[in-house]
Structures are given as C-alpha cells and as structure tokens.
C-alpha cells in the first residue's frame, strides 16, 4: 500500500497539538491554565491506561490534568457529588468521565450531570442535540476527530453517500449528524442491519464505529471509497478488515495511528477552547 493512500492520524494530531501549545501559552500569560479533570471509577486496566494517556497528552502541551480516582463500589450519588464539585470549580475547564463505569452506577445520569460548558467530551444529551442542530461547541471527540481528518485531507462530504456502521450516542449517531450537516447523504447501519454488505458497497465514505473486530469486510468496500475506521479492538485491530479494504479504498485510516490520536487531540482542543471562553465570560 502506498503512503498516499494513508490517512495519517498521528500527523493530524501533531498539527493540532502544535497549534494548541501557542494558545495555552497565551492563556497562561492571561493568568489561566487550562485544566481537564478526568474521573475514573474502579480499577479497569484499559480505562486506567486511557486516562493515563489523556493525562500525559495534556501535560505535554501545558494543560493541567486533574485526576480523580474513585473506588469500584462508588455509588451514583457519590459520583454525582464529585461531578457537581468540578462543575463549580472555576479552575477546571473540562470534565471527562471515563467509560465504562461499574454496573451499579447510572452512567447516563452521571453524564447528564456534567455542566454543558465543561462537557468537552461531548457526552451530554444537550451537547448531542446542539451538535445535531449544527451549533454545538464540543461534539463528541471521536466524531470530531473523523471530521478533522477529512478536513485536513480535503475530503468534502457534500453530495457523497456516507455509510456509518454503528449507532452509539457518542460515536455513530453524532458523526452521522456532523456528516449530514456538511451535506452528505447519510445511511446509519449497525450490527443488526440486514444485508449490511449491500449498504457498504454503495458508500463513498465508510465510517466504521461498531466495536467489532474486522466486522466490515474488505470485499464490501467500493472502489475508490474513503474508509475511516474508528474501531479499536484487542490486538490493535480495527472494525474494518484492513488488508482487504486498503486494496480498494482511495484513502483509509490505519489502526492504530488513525482516528485514535486525533480523538485525544480534539479533547485537548475542546479543553483549551473552554479555558478561552472562561476569560471572555
């Protein structure tokens, strides 16, 4: 596969972070240090790794990473109290609740408790509604990453048929809305779609967001289609059968090194934007 087919997420993320460093320095001159609070409930190893990666990414560009680690038996009430404290903490500009939380916690209620102006991960229903209507400040970070990659590579979705495979509230649904807002014709499919292959075969743009390794087969990809794989499964495997898909796609994201790095970069960007807004307010 030639490099000119590759949608290099690491390069996109590095460009974003380099621009953010300057904005962070400007904020600090004004006496404001951007701060992202990450809440981890329990001891899930993967979640711990993700939180650590996000914290390290923050620190590399000068964002303060405030880590809150709550025990596995935390109640919904205790978690909501923690979120409310962060809502009222003027030094905190963004709040991220690491998914998933232990089963005794009402995760949706916890997400909804995050103040809209600090919902830099785009998890509240209010934030989703604003994104769908076209005026959201902080769309969910993975959908935002997908749109940013397309923008950086001059992929214009207008008039194109985009097939999104996945319907989660923080990935499949919002990315469909973002594509629709840019005048794509969007078909949303999922793991229970009948004859999924026939839908994918007609797609100019394929967004894979179903959370199943190599669920989308390479032979389904239309010649010349753009493939954006937001899946990340055990063994560094995406939701798309990469080896087969890369032969037919005009452009494709690798896993890892595609959508993932840009997702983290968009989280950083949203936190910086929130900090900038705090000065204006």
Segments of the chain assigned to CATH 3.40.50.720: 141-260
Share of the chain above pLDDT 90, in %: 95
Contact 26, 65 (CB under 8 A): no
Catalytic residue among 54, 118, 173, 246: 54
Active site residue 121: yes
The pLDDT, as a whole number, for residue 281 is 63
Residue 1 pLDDT: 44
Report the chain's mean pLDDT, rounded to a whole number: 96
Whether 54 sits among the annotated catalytic residues: the reply is yes
The class that CATH gives domain 31-117 is alpha beta
pLDDT at 54 > cutoff 90: yes
| Catalytic annotation present for 98 | yes
Other beta carbons within 10 angstroms of residue 93's beta carbon come to 27
Six-digit token string for 135: 């005026």
pLDDT digits over 205-227, tens only? 999 999 999 999 999 999 999 99
CA-CA distance, 36 to 55, in Å (whole number)? 8
pLDDT of residue 3: 67
Q: Which of 16, 249, 275, 54 is nearest to 151 (CA)?
A: 16
Average pLDDT over residues 58-74: 97
- What is each CA distance from 265 to 53, 86, 113, 130, 247, in whole angstroms? 11, 22, 24, 21, 29
- Sequence-distant (6+) residues with CB within 8 A of 219 are 244
Per annotation, catalytic residue among 17, 98, 130, 229:
98
Structural fold of domain 141-260: Rossmann fold (3.40.50)
3-state secondary structure of 252: strand
Of the candidates 8, 121, 204, 229, the residue annotated as catalytic is 121
* DSSP string across 66-94: EEEEE-TT--HHHHHHHHHHHHT-TT--E
The two tokens of residue 124 are 């509240």
- Percentage of the chain surpassing pLDDT 70? 98
The residue-averaged pLDDT of 92-108 equals: 97
Return d(Cα 167, Cα 169) in angstroms, integer.
Answer: 6
Task: For residue range 145-161, list pLDDT tens digits in order.
Answer: 999 999 999 999 999 99
């Amino acid at each position: 596969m030639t490099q000119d087919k590759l949608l290099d997420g690491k390069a996109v993320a590095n460009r974003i972070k380099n621009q953010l460093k300057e904005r962070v320095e400007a904020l600090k001159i004004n006496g404001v240090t951007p701060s992202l609070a990450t809440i981890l409930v329990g001891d899930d190893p993967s979640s711990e790794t993700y939180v650590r990666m996000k914290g390290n990414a923050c620190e590399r560009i000068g964002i303060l990473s405030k880590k809150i680690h709550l025990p596995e038996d935390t109640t919904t009430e205790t978690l909501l109290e923690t979120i409310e404290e962060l809502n009222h903490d003027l030094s905190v500009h963004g709040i991220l609740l690491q998914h998933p939380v232990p089963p005794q916690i009402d995760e949706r209620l916890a997400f909804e408790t995050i103040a809209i102006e600090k919902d830099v991960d785009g998890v509240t229903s209010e934030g989703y509604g604003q994104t769908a209507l076209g005026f959201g400040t902080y769309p969910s970070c993975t959908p935002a990453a997908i749109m940013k990659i397309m923008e950086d590579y001059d992929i214009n979705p207008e008039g194109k048929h985009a097939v999104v495979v996945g319907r989660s509230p923080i990935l499949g649904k919002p990315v469909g809305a973002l594509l629709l807002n840019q005048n794509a014709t969007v078909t949303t499919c999922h793991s229970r779609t009948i004859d999924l292959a026939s839908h994918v075969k007609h797609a100019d743009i394929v967004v894979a967001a179903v959370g199943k390794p190599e669920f989308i087969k390479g032979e389904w990809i239309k010649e010349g289609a753009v493939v954006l794989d937001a899946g990340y499964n055990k063994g560094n495997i995406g939701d798309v059968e990469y080896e087969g898909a890369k032969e037919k796609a005009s452009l494709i994201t690798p896993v890892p090194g595609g959508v993932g790095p840009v997702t983290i970069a968009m989280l950083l960007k949203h936190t910086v934007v929130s900090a900038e807004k705090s000065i204006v307010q």
